[in-house]
Amino acid sequence: MNKATVTEIRKQFEKALEEVRDTAALEALKHGYLGRKGIIAGLFARIREVPPESRKETGELLNSLKTDLSAAIDARSMQFAVPRKQKEITDFSMPGYAMHHGSRHPLTQAVDDMLNIFQHLGFDIAYGPEVEIDWYNFESLNFPPDHPARDMQDTFYTEGGGVLRTHTSPVQTRYMSTHKPPVRIVAPGRVFRNEAISARSYCLFHQIEGLYIDEGITFADLKGTIELFCRLYYGKDVRIKFRGSYFPFTEPSAEIDVSCFLCGGKGCPVCKQSGWLEIMGCGMVDPNVLKAVNYDSERYSGYAFGLGIERMLMMRLGINDIRILFENDVEFLKQF
């Protein structure tokens, strides 16, 4: 045995190591070279054949061969260790990860629910622009320029002289100016008011406008439709009250109260102990509005109504701060 033998063994080992593909093969290789009866042990046994003066040198050579081989085997076993570990920790009985999926915003849900009811009652859906012209937002709705009712609206004006619509009522006259009677529509959308932001008011909110114009429409039709809507939305036991009111575009006008869904009318903090909740304004369309869109006000009559979505939703969900509906707070929205 000499230096060349050691070099030859090293080469053979390296080649064999390259061909190892799994832990079992690596174990076999280790056993073959480094085991008690392995090749290295065999070489050490043959050290007696070496002349005494070279024994020390040969011994060192064999020692470093042994160290190198076991280091190479360890390094290689690390490459197999990773997949083996992964396999061990796969536990198919573990609960899966929850998938987070989005949901419709509660305001969108409320609008969809209400539109669904109105569609079943025969109403079409109409939309109007959020930036309006003064004529549709005020004048066509019987607010002349100096009419004191204009003070009811704190309005955002655009630089070009437009207005951010302060209610969805302009969709009434917009729709009528391009459609002949009969018309039966509901118009959902955003409206804007220049109000100080607080728990009770926000600079934008949502309304649904309703309009029904035909020959011979009376206040009885309005009452029947509103009553049916309230029963479908709030439940069949809800009680409804029409209270006289004023709007420039309706005559007569009313506001509608429903019995408080929380206390059933007994009185609670949500209804401020009154037992009633105000949900919308309505009335018979003023003949001046019909004239503004060139409808024959002698032949046609109709009713209109407008409801505030945020108010209805806040009462329903027991929310006491309107701002939460516009903040996109995921913790809040997750609940719906």
Contact residues toward ligand DAH (CB under 6 A) are 167, 169, 209, 247, 250, 281-283, 304-306
Minimum gap (Å) between residue 332 Cβ and ligand DAH:
26
Minimum gap (Å) between residue 282 Cβ and ligand DAH:
5
Minimum gap (Å) between residue 279 Cβ and ligand DAH:
11
Which residues does 126 contact at the CB level (< 8 Å), separation at least 6? 171, 174, 175, 185, 186, 187
Minimum gap (Å) between residue 246 Cβ and ligand DAH:
9
Minimum gap (Å) between residue 115 Cβ and ligand DAH:
16
**Which C-beta is closer to ligand DAH: that of 128 or that of 283?**
283
**Which C-beta is closer to ligand DAH: that of 213 or that of 282?**
282
Backbone dihedral angles phi then psi of residue 253, each to the nearest 5 degrees: -120, 155
How are beta strands 250-259 and 240-247 bridged, if at all?
antiparallel
**Which C-beta is closer to ligand DAH: that of 265 or that of 306?**
306
Residue appearing with tokens 């024959």: 296
**Which C-beta is closer to ligand DAH: that of 77 or that of 245?**
245
**Which C-beta is closer to ligand DAH: that of 169 or that of 259?**
169
Phi-psi bin for 153: left (phi > 0), alpha (psi -120 to 50), beta?
Answer: beta
Minimum gap (Å) between residue 193 Cβ and ligand DAH:
9
**Which C-beta is closer to ligand DAH: that of 152 or that of 317?**
152
Sheet containing strand 300-308, edge to edge, reads 124-125, 183-192, 204-215, 300-308, 276-285, 250-259, 240-247
Is residue 289 within 8 A of residue 173, CB to CB? The reply is: yes
Cross-strand bridge partners of residue 256: 242, 280
